[in-house]
Amino acid sequence: MCKLCDLKQVFDKDLTDEERKKAIEEELCKAEIVMTLDSNPDIGIPMEELGLTYEDFQNAESYEIEEDDYEIGRENFEKKSQFKIVNLYLYDSNAYGSRGYGSNSREFCIKLATRTRSSVMRYQDILRLTPNPGLGQGGSNIYSVFRYRGGKNCKHFWTKYYYDTESQKLVKAPNSLQPKQVDKGSVGGAPE
C-alpha cells in the first residue's frame, strides 16, 4: 500500500470531522516514521552482527520462569537469570507468515516488518521512531510505535527476546513478560 492509499481509506470512512482530523494526523505521523526508517538504516542491530538469522528467532526456545523468579519481582528478573540479557524485539504477526505483512498491510507495517526481518530492535531503537512534536495521537508530541504499532486493527505485535551477549544464546521471553500492546482503545502496560 502507499501513503496516499492509507489517507484515502481515512476519507472513505464515515467519520465525524474531529475523527477524520485525528485519523489524518495519525497517518501523517506514521508517514514520518516510515521516512525515519528509510533515512536511518542504522536503526536496529543487523542480525548478522549478532551471528543470528530471522529463522533463529522463529525457532528460539521460550524461557521458562521458575516460581522463585516471580518472588523476586520483574525489576530483578534479569539479575537472577543466567543470562547477561539484551532485550531485542521483532515486529511480528500471526496473520501474515514469515514475510511479516500481507497485501492489505499499511506501508508503515510493511517497512517495519521488513526491517525487523534483517535487524532487531532494542527499545531505544523503537523510541527513535518517535515523530516530530505535534504529530502524535491527538496532536501530542509522541506516537508510541511500541504501544500502538500500526494503529487500530493492526495485526502486528512486538515480540520480546532475550539475547546473552556472552554465550550468544537467544530465547523468547515468556508470555507473562511480553510487551503489553494497545489495541482498539484499550489501555496497555508500560514497556519492559
31-75, pLDDT tens digit by residue?
A: 888 888 888 888 999 999 999 999 999 999 887 765 555 444 455
Nearest to 109 by CA among 57, 43, 154: 154
**For residue 158, is pLDDT > 90?**
yes
Q: What is the pLDDT of residue 1?
A: 43
Q: Are 145 and 115 in contact (CB under 8 A)?
A: no
Q: What is the pLDDT of residue 70?
A: 47
**pLDDT tier at 190 (50, 70, 90 boundaries)?**
very low
Q: Tell me the three cell numbers of residue 102.
A: 500481507
**For residue 6, is pLDDT > 60?**
no
Q: Are 66 and 75 in contact (CB under 8 A)?
A: no
**For residue 119, is pLDDT > 90?**
yes
Work out the mean pLDDT of the chain and round it to a whole number: 76
Range 8-25 average pLDDT:
72
Q: What is the pLDDT of residue 192?
A: 38
Q: What is the pLDDT of residue 55?
A: 94
Rounded to two decimals, what is the model's pTM?
Answer: 0.72
Q: What is the pLDDT of residue 96?
A: 87
Q: Which residues contact 130 (CB under 8 A, 6 or more apart)?
A: 136, 142, 143, 144, 145
Q: What is the pLDDT of residue 133?
A: 58
Q: Are 123 and 132 in contact (CB under 8 A)?
A: no
**For residue 90, is pLDDT > 90?**
yes
Range 123-137 average pLDDT:
73
**Burial class of residue 188 in the structure, from the number of CB atoms within 10 Å of its CB (0-12 exposed, 13-18 middle, 19+ buried):** middle
Phi-psi region of 81 (alpha: psi -120 to 50; beta: other; left: phi over 0): beta
**For residue 185, is pLDDT > 60?**
no
**pLDDT tier at 182 (50, 70, 90 boundaries)?**
low
